[in-house]
Structure 1
Amino acid sequence: MPHVIVKAWPGKTEAQKHALAVAITREIVSILGNGPDSVSIAFEEVEPSRWKEAVYVPDIKDRPDILLKKPGYQM
């Protein structure tokens, strides 16, 4: 039962969010073998001014043990 949370800056259209959810679901089904009904996806918009405190520090810097792809930036 994978649940994916995408955190991104605001400004993406509903069409872009939906296309991303479809693509993520397709890849989960293909790679992990889960059925599409077992996948849930959330999209959380985080203002750029809050990115460091709300995403970078708690999800990237403080959790290197679960980070599968590092960003190409540092804060």
Structure 2
Amino acid sequence: MPHVIVKLYPGKSESQKQSLANRITQDVMDAFGYGEESVSVAFEEIRSTEWAEKVYRTDIQNPLGKLYKKPGYQM
């Protein structure tokens, strides 16, 4: 705990995914004070033709209060 799932289009290399997993792990540790042994990161590749159905509608458009960063520039 915590477990982070990154949903993305296919095509990123294993080294790119590992690099991002390492950065996410470090940020979770820094933000929440967990040790590395408590953090897990997974990647779920979703084809662009399925993105609207499998990700946008369920995770972005209707997130039921769970979305903390919407697409676009708003930091």
**Aligned position for 1:32:** 32
Q: Following TM superposition, where does structure 1 have runs of at least 4 consecutive aligned residues deviating by more than 3 angstroms?
A: none
Q: Tell me how many residue pairs correspond in the alignment.
A: 72
Q: TM-score, normalised by structure 2?
A: 0.92
Output the CA distance in 1 between the equivalents of 2:36 and 2:69: 24
Q: Which runs of 5+ in 2 are unaligned?
A: none
Which residue does 2:54 correspond to in 1? Answer: 54
Deviation at 1:59, TM superposition (A): 0.6
CA distance in 1, matches of 2:28, 2:45: 22
**CA-atom RMSD, angstroms?**
0.8
**What percent identity do the matched residue pairs reach?**
51
Structure 1 unaligned spans of 5+: none
CA distance in 1, matches of 2:24, 2:47: 23
